[in-house]
Structure 1
Amino acid sequence: MPRTKIHVGLEIGTSKTCMVVGEVKSDGAVKILGVGMTKSAGVRKGEIYDFPQARACVKDALVKAEDASDVEIGSVFLSVTGSHIVGENNLGTFRLPEGEQQVAPEHVEEAKDIAREVHIPSDHVYLHSIVRQFRLDGLEQATSPVGLFGRTVEADFHVIHGIGTRIQNSIKCVREMPLDVDDVVFAPIAVAQVALSREDRERGALVIDIGGGTTDYALYLGGSIAASGSIPVGGDHITNDIHLVTGLPFTKAESLKIKEGDASADPARSVGSVKVTDDKGFAEAEVRRQVLNEVIRQRLEETLRLVKRRLPEGSVERIGTGIFLSGGTSLMRGFGELAFDVFGRDIYRPEPPEVSGIQSSFKDPQYTTALGLIRYAQVLDAERVAAPGFLGRIGRALWPFGR
């Protein structure tokens, strides 16, 4: 790997479009050179519905990122989300030919190819094929069993796929800048690169990334990914609930949610009322805190329970490290307490490790995905050096849209 290398991460989210320029130094440390962020338009539930508006937001973020970093950006790592994205596990089994007892590289590759061949809908494309573990004659192997003696090789994969046209729209948005797409990454996979250490993954951890339009999750058990997915519910749904209950305009409901809302069940935080004023400072409405907080809590609790129901049976009890919350909506007061009530596990917010050159505001959880894309790129670089041509345990994008 070169002495230093620059990578760029791009998140086209429901609430914001964010581009981060990072320099990976020779010692592995990351320095953030610049950030370009703008309020998103034309994106709903993590998916583009008004292409010209979304493209304009990407252009604005690009200009800001280049100005801040003094770097001419040519390509990006792109995060994607949406309820159409599905994660599932699949096992590939290969029995060695008669007379062969030692596992060769081609035997392992055959098992991996079988594991990757998950039947997916015709309109879907592969995003990631992630090796979870290998088995040799039923015995779990932490690494590839090449060179060992055995009869049956098994490769256990986690395969993530989604609707090709929706992913392609995000790629098209980038290429019209014009920029190249280095890789496409499912958002919680990027978040996990920042949020979780190797020990966290070994002990068991759940990443929940809750943004404006979607809630993405990735579960890690025993050092490897066990489940992932996306739910089409986010912070905008809370705002809409407040709007419907109070009759306030959407923008006022959003402001009330951020400034006064609390998701905990603490009755002391639901005493009294909040006065909402108009643009001239005159009283417009009065909202009881109990009503406001109940609306927020109910929606967030429903969202967390939807995530919990999608996890494999018995997996929550195996989460030894805890739950990591990221995304702008995770900043809601009392959200950590609510998450503890639902999962009964320790709650954390990701802390960017070994990162320099960033403003204190960039440590905000809403930027975790963009920073995670830089980490993702860094890990891929390291894997290419360790094993040239190897696709990597994280999993490379397999979408058929060219490079």
Structure 2
Amino acid sequence: MARTKIHVGLEIGTSKICMVVGEVKSDGSVKILGVGQSKSVGVRKGEIYDFPQVRACVKDALVKAEDASDVEVGSVFLAVTGAHIQGVNNRGSFRLPDGEESIEQEHVNEAKEIARSVAIPQDHVYLHHIIRRFGVDGYEHASSPIGLSGKTVDSDFHVVHGIRSRIENQIKCVREMPLDVDDLVFSPIATAQVALDREARERGALVIDIGGGTTDYALYLDGVIEATGCIPVGGDHITNDIHLVTGLPFSKAEILKVREGDASGDPARSVGTAKVVDEKGFSDAEVKRQLLNDIIRQRLEETMGLLLSRLPAGAMEQVGTGVFLAGGTSLMRGFGELAHEVFGRDIYRPEPPELSGVQASFKDPQFTTALGLIRYAQIVESERAPKRGLLGRLWPFSR
């Protein structure tokens, strides 16, 4: 009889650190046993810049997750992000030796190895090698072509890589808990595990996860991953814009953004003034709604424009399902209308599927990546033994 399996996902974000403990049952369903959250201090644009502070925040999230789940956490699936991480597509082609006409496993392996061997900077390491499709004599196949007749076999991969030292810092932070790292997952790939089902991937979908310091994205076309990336801009940049233009303290600018801001561009929502009531006896802060909303909209419009420019030419024309918005900043009022204007597609919010034990608040889009790590772990568990590729090279010895 199949046993249940406990998996833990950890996201070290710019605004929050989140650890989620999930139980994968024998029937494949997932139950969330507990969640630990901590305000993030020491992270900028998704990357660690104050190691001791981040370590303390991760420790706090760990204690809360263990208390909530009644599970002693020993290892985690770790989400990583940052502008240094890049995703590229690469195709490998292998011609069968003379006299051989049936494609065998070794032929496919040769094509895979060629496709996986993307030239990367010396200070980078591989994070993911994701198979996209195969080909035989120029004709594409969704599944392995072993046993088919042909002279040339092709393998198409999406390869993700990033700067070794920055990735090592996140691993080191987790190791000092002390916890093991089961695997590293580029954040938008984790987010997509929850945001998209098979039909959405087949019809084409774009996932955008916009947090405090970064905007991550993953594009799927014809059922396979087409592009991934990270733009080092997020909700904190909007707050800073409000602070610089209005002269308000950063804390008040954040409150004003969250409580009163609107990105839709609707003139009816930009009438009058927005007020922040001061609870410490100082004078209240007032800003014209038109000014506030213009600041918010301009920054988000610029960020979405940057993202759009990074996608392959004509990609959005192939997106049939729409755009899925996740991350805390996606909760901004009017952001859906703005995204619809920019991308010209239907806008959705990810809904966690087939999960139990989840508090209502945990279905919030800002937790999509953390949930996606559990889904990713479930897939890894079902498809193969946990890998030690990258981690084996970075950390050859156990803690």
TM-score range, shorter chain: over 0.9
CA shift, 1:115, in A, is: 0.3
Give, in whole Å, the separation in 2 of the partners of 1:209 and 1:275. 29
Give the partner amino acid of 1:275. K
**Secondary structure at the residue paired with 2:14?**
coil
Give, in whole Å, the separation in 2 of the partners of 1:54 and 1:337. 35
Give, in whole Å, the separation in 2 of the partners of 1:126 and 1:342. 32
Give the partner amino acid of 1:51. F
Residues 1:349 and 2:349 aligned together: yes
The CA deviation string for residues 89-141 of structure 1, in whole angstroms up to 9 with x for no partner, is 00001001111111111110110010010000000000000001000001111
Paired residue for 1:98?
Answer: 98
Q: Is this contact kept in 1: 2:103–2:146, CA < 8 A?
A: yes
Give, in whole Å, the separation in 1 of the partners of 2:75 and 2:136. 40
Q: Is this contact kept in 2: 1:219–1:226, CA < 8 A?
A: yes
Give, in whole Å, the separation in 1 of the partners of 2:39 and 2:116. 37
Give, in whole Å, the separation in 1 of the partners of 2:242 and 2:361. 27
Paired residue for 1:263?
Answer: 263
Q: After superposition, where does 1:48-67 map in structure 2 within 5 Å? A: 48-67=48-67
CA shift, 1:285, in A, is: 2.4
Give, in whole Å, the separation in 2 of the partners of 1:17 and 1:300. 23
Give, in whole Å, the separation in 2 of the partners of 1:397 and 1:257. 43
Paired residue for 1:321?
Answer: 321
Q: Is this contact kept in 2: 1:20–1:35, CA < 8 A?
A: yes
Paired residue for 1:36?
Answer: 36
Residues 1:114 and 2:107 aligned together: no
Paired residue for 2:171?
Answer: 171
Give, in whole Å, the separation in 2 of the partners of 1:65 and 1:285. 38
Residues 1:398 and 2:393 aligned together: no
Paired residue for 1:26?
Answer: 26
Q: After superposition, where does 1:323-402 map in structure 2 within 5 Å? A: 323-384=323-384, 398-399=390-391, 400-402=393-395
CA shift, 1:2, in A, is: 4.0
Note closer, same or farther for the CA distance 1:267–1:281 as it changes in structure 2 (3 Å cut).
farther
CA shift, 1:142, in A, is: 1.1
Q: Is this contact kept in 2: 1:128–1:397, CA < 8 A?
A: no
Give, in whole Å, the separation in 2 of the partners of 1:47 and 1:300. 21
Q: After superposition, where does 1:123-142 map in structure 2 within 5 Å? A: 123-142=123-142
CA shift, 1:53, in A, is: 0.3
Give, in whole Å, the separation in 2 of the partners of 1:248 and 1:153. 61
The CA deviation string for residues 26-85 of structure 1, in whole angstroms up to 9 with x for no partner, is 111110000000000110000000000000011000000000000000000000000000
Give, in whole Å, the separation in 2 of the partners of 1:220 and 1:166. 27
Q: Is this contact kept in 1: 2:44–2:213, CA < 8 A?
A: yes
Count, aligned residues: 395
Give, in whole Å, the separation in 2 of the partners of 1:398 and 1:205. 29
Give the partner amino acid of 1:118. V
Give, in whole Å, the separation in 1 of the partners of 2:113 and 2:60. 41
TM-score (norm 2): 0.97
Give the partner amino acid of 2:394. F
5+ residue gaps, structure 1, are none
Give, in whole Å, the separation in 1 of the partners of 2:281 and 2:254. 17
Q: Is this contact kept in 1: 2:301–2:338, CA < 8 A?
A: yes
Residues 1:186 and 2:186 aligned together: yes
The CA deviation string for residues 234-288 of structure 1, in whole angstroms up to 9 with x for no partner, is 0000000000011111011001100000000111100000122322355332100
Instruction: Give runs of ≥4 in structure 1 deviating > 6 Å.
Output: none
CA shift, 1:177, in A, is: 0.4
**Secondary structure at the residue paired with 1:264?**
coil
Give the partner amino acid of 2:162. G
The CA deviation string for residues 177-227 of structure 1, in whole angstroms up to 9 with x for no partner, is 000000000000000000001110010000000000000000000000001
Q: Is this contact kept in 2: 1:11–1:369, CA < 8 A?
A: yes
Give the partner amino acid of 2:237. H
TM-score (norm 1): 0.96
Give, in whole Å, the separation in 1 of the partners of 2:258 and 2:332. 7
Give the partner amino acid of 2:63. V
Give the partner amino acid of 1:398. L
Q: Is this contact kept in 1: 2:255–2:276, CA < 8 A?
A: no
Residues 1:143 and 2:135 aligned together: no
Give, in whole Å, the separation in 1 of the partners of 2:326 and 2:56. 26
CA root-mean-square deviation? 1.3
Q: Is this contact kept in 2: 1:10–1:19, CA < 8 A?
A: yes
Q: Is this contact kept in 2: 1:201–1:224, CA < 8 A?
A: yes
The CA deviation string for residues 366-392 of structure 1, in whole angstroms up to 9 with x for no partner, is 0000000000000111112xxx69x7x
